[in-house]
Amino acid sequence: MAILAGLVAVLSALLAAALRRLLRLRHQPTPAAGFFHPYTNDGGGGERVLWCAVRAVQELRPGLPCAVFTGDADASPDGLSARALDRFGVRLLRPPQMIPLERSTTPPVLISVAQFRPEKAHGLQLEAFALALTRLDPDFPKPKLQFVGSCRNKEDLERLQKLKDRAIELHIDELVEFHKDISYMDLVRLLGGAIAGLHSMTDEHFGIVVVEYMAAGAIPIAHKSAGPMMDIVLDEDGHQTGFLASEKEEFADAIIKVLRMSEQERQDMAAASRKRAQRFSEQRFHEDFTEAVRPILLPREA
């Protein structure tokens, strides 16, 4: 009996040791290479660098899994792998895994990017934001509004101070931020955290900032005139890409609609908006401009 008990004890110890080893192996992380790129289909130089980096890692470690963390919810591994080859001539050994990034919506952030000039109508945005706050349920997470811009002169600085003073008068200063003369990287970071972007300049001939909102995945709420109305904030494949407004009440209504969207609704509109923005990308401009001037610069011989 003593021998049998000893064997049972030894076998139990061996089984326990094997079980512990198995558990350690299960929890041991699998090596992988991760890449962060917010927009994997923007067609710019940053995208080329991304795919060159992925290819370099795959050549060094052919068996190492590669994953790209991206804000493009509609991106697919096979589609982007084919795009890397078609657009940049970069052939990947295999499609990388795509891991969509979800921007934080607590608290929800709205952004306004423009120089602090009078025609940009920052005051209209501030008043509309204050009005929207009064229409939210008491238990709804309080949104924030971020003003981002530069000041050219003393008058712009005074205008910025008046905005700050008005935020205090409206009792919303704790929910409003002002970012003056920030770096490009800080701007990218702020855009990446916003769910919507405000634009309120009347009759702006184009409105490139609206395109920047859309490319960043922030739903545009733009002035209902000129460029934004006629060229930019239009349906894409039958899907709404943003909102247009001209009066304070209309801007407030649009803000409320964005805030009350479900996460899926917001992602769907942001995806359509980003696809729309690709029509105005640097690559698209280069292609269209080249095509337009080719007959002039390289006329056909008679």
Given a cut of 90, whether residue 221 has pLDDT beyond it is yes
Question: Is the alpha carbon torsion for 223, 107, 258, 80 positive or negative?
Answer: positive
Last residue of a domain, one of 83, 100, 117: 100
Report the C-alpha dihedral over residues 7, 11, 13, 17, rounded to 10 degrees.
160
pTM, rounded to two decimals:
0.70
- d(CA 216, CA 195) in angstroms, rounded, equals 9
The answer to whether 30 touches 62, Cβ cutoff 8 Å, is: no
Residues 116 and 264 in one domain: yes
What digits encode the pLDDT tens for the residues 133-142?
Answer: 999 999 999 9
- d(CA 115, CA 110) in angstroms, rounded, equals 17
Structure tokens at 247: 């009066």
Residues 78 and 184 in one domain: no
Nearest to 111, CA basis, from 181, 198, 180: 198
Last residue of a domain, one of 48, 76, 100: 100
pLDDT, residue 41, reads: 63
- d(CA 221, CA 241) in angstroms, rounded, equals 10
Of 179 and 70, more confident: 179
What digits encode the pLDDT tens for the residues 3-20?
Answer: 545 544 544 555 555 556
Residues 155 and 186 in one domain: yes
CB atoms within 10 A of CB 166: 17
> Has residue 295 been placed in a domain?
no
Q: What are phi and psi of 89, to 5 degrees?
A: 70, 25
> Has residue 245 been placed in a domain?
yes
SS3 11: helix
Residues 50 and 185 in one domain: no
Residues 159 and 263 in one domain: yes
Q: What is the number of domains present in the chain?
A: 2
What digits encode the pLDDT tens for the residues 19-47?
Answer: 565 455 445 567 888 887 766 665 556 78
Task: Please count the CA atoms within 13 angstroms of the CA of 109 that sit on its side-chain side.
Answer: 20
**Amino acid at position 176, single letter:** V
pLDDT, residue 8, reads: 44
Residues 92 and 156 in one domain: no
- d(CA 115, CA 178) in angstroms, rounded, equals 12
Last residue of a domain, one of 82, 100, 118: 100
Q: Average pLDDT in the 87-99 region?
A: 86
Task: Please count the CA atoms within 13 angstroms of the CA of 154 that sit on its side-chain side.
Answer: 0
**Hey, which bits of the chain come out as E strands?**
33-36, 66-70, 97-100, 109-113, 144-149, 176-180, 196-198, 219-223, 243-245
pLDDT band at residue 98 under the 50/70/90 scheme: confident
Classify residue 220 by its DSSP letter.
E
Mean predicted lDDT score pLDDT of the chain: 86
Owning domain of residue 54: 33-100
- β-bridge pairing 33-36 and 66-70: parallel
> Has residue 162 been placed in a domain?
yes
> Has residue 237 been placed in a domain?
yes
What digits encode the pLDDT tens for the residues 51-69?
Answer: 899 999 999 998 888 888 7
Q: What are the DSSP calls for 258-281, one per residue?
A: HHHS-HHHHHHHHHHHHHHHGGGS
Cα 100 to Cα 36, 52, 105: the distances in Å are: 10, 20, 15
pLDDT, residue 253, reads: 98
Nearest to 97, CA basis, from 54, 39, 62, 46: 54
- d(CA 78, CA 127) in angstroms, rounded, equals 46
Structure tokens at 38: 């917010």
